[in-house]
Structure 1
Amino acid sequence: MQFEGKSVIITGAGKGIGRATALLMAARGARVVAISRTRADLDGLARDTGGHGIAADLSDPGAARAAMAQAGACDFLVNCAGTNVLESLLDMTDAGYDTVMGINLRAALICAQEFARARITAGGGGAIVNVTSIAGHRGFPDHVCYAASKAGLEGATRVMARELGPHGIRVTALAPTVTMTELAAEAWSDPAKSAPMMARHPLGRFAEAEDVARAIALLLSDDAAMVTGAVLALDGGFLAV
């Protein structure tokens, strides 16, 4: 019960990494406030965790702020909400750009802003984990907006750590490799594409959502009390070789 008595807001909690993180944090004692677009996903998660669900489309800035206001002053924030539109630079559309940047970057910044304001009002302390991607470190075809959004969030993570540190709020980023979620399956379902990528991982596999959830829990925990402004690569060694 590592997080007993603590509360955590998790965006994108309905599926994938967000859902795995919600389940793990609840199992370790935290009260989970889950934010997702789909009410059915939230209802199922509430049954499994006993937590509270807030249905919101985070691509709408007003809805994002309203959801964070409803969530209140929790101890932790995990920005897991993410999306991708597979477009090359030459094929990039305004709609694709707005979709990816609106969810992956702007929504994360809004949620972090509102979380930090509430924490400071409550006396400070707490932690934020922003889920980014190795796509912000390496150039993958058809990921131009996705890479920009994740690299941008890592840059913002460093600024947040600098600005929020005096209030006792730690801010870190976690950059997973390909993680076997529904979103990743769309991008990596072709063996001709996935096999060469997997071969570049010294551990010989992609990540599972539970791998990412455990790393998030580590960054939120007191074991990481001196870690802020850092980007942790959860990549099976991909970036090292």
Structure 2
Amino acid sequence: MEISFKGKRALVTGASKGIGRDLVIQLVQCGADVVAIARSSELLEKLKKDAPSIVTLPLDITNWKETKEALEQIGPIDLLVNNAGLAILEPLTDVSEEHVDQLFDINVKSLINISQWLAEQLISRKSPGSIVNISSQASMAGLKNHTVYCATKGAVDAFTRAAALELGPHGIRVNCVNPTVIMTDMGKLGWSDPKVAEPMLQKIPLNRFGEVHEVVDTVLFLLSDKASMITGTCLPIDGGYTAV
């Protein structure tokens, strides 16, 4: 199945590494013009060497006003992937107000802000569009020492469903994907210890963690016209973890 985004402009947050980085490269290969957002100018420049056609935008998306002002300068966008995210893992009894604010600012508040900006733009242009939010299996199952992270991803799922309802009449689709542990560089580092990995693997029917391309491929499908009748869905990419 061939997917083409020729003539479309896509915006990806958290684009400098991991899933976001590979997603930018694949979008370009599928013909999209891409705007890549991340905090690190240095990492964005490294990404641009691999995808010279992209526009890079160093930005702290937790700042509501500055984000809106920066987005107004990039021109029309058709496709959005809210990929930026933060995980701070700790027992509930150790959670601080600072960590709650950090997690919700990045995982929820910035996602709402950028989605609102795109929705307003698409509606004013009377143009269809597609938004994909990167959630987590942590929204669907309680995970030890993930309390606040789980709460933020539950908010992402709820926002996705509500936004799909509101924006559907305008031809704007909103979906999210809910990956398990994915073997990014950070995932490999955090889950390399068999003592840590094995209890999770035992709960995954496919008995392995996910690969980056498995998330990227799913996101590309949901962004594309191949998924033209899909909106408001939260799709696990978890090897069956949440099914059982």
Interval containing the TM-score (normalised by the shorter chain): over 0.9
Deviation at 1:240, TM superposition (A): 1.7
Runs of 4+ in 1 over 6 A off after TM superposition: none
CA distance in 2, matches of 1:79, 1:35: 10
Please give the root-mean-square deviation of Cα atoms over the aligned residues, in Å.
1.4
Q: Does 1:93 align with 2:90?
A: no
Deviation at 1:204, TM superposition (A): 2.0
Q: Which residue of 2 aligns with 1:193?
A: 196
Change beyond 3 A, Cα 1:100–1:184: farther
Q: Which residue of 1 aligns with 2:46?
A: 44
Deviation at 1:64, TM superposition (A): 2.2
Aligned residues: 241
From 208, 220, 224, the equivalent of 2:211 is 208
Change beyond 3 A, Cα 1:65–1:184: farther
Identity, in percent, stands at: 39
From 138, 155, 160, the equivalent of 2:158 is 155
Deviation at 1:47, TM superposition (A): 2.2
Gaps of 5+ in 2: none
Q: Which residue of 2 aligns with 1:76?
A: 79
For the residue of structure 2 that corresponds to 1:227, the secondary structure is coil
TM-score (norm 2): 0.94
TM-score (norm 1): 0.95
CA distance in 1, matches of 2:106, 2:236: 21
Gaps of 5+ in 1: none
Q: Does 1:103 align with 2:102?
A: no
From 5, 8, 18, the equivalent of 1:6 is 8
Single out whichever of 198-207 and 75-84 deviates more from structure 2: 198-207
For each residue in 1:15-58, what CA deviation from the matched residue of structure 2 results, as whole angstroms up to 9, or x when unmatched? 11111111111111111100000011111222222100000011
CA distance in 2, matches of 1:70, 1:194: 44
For each residue in 1:190-238, what CA deviation from the matched residue of structure 2 results, as whole angstroms up to 9, or x when unmatched? 3212112112222221112221111000001111000001111111111
Q: Does 1:133 align with 2:136?
A: yes
For each residue in 1:92-128, what CA deviation from the matched residue of structure 2 results, as whole angstroms up to 9, or x when unmatched? 0011111111000000000100011111111120100
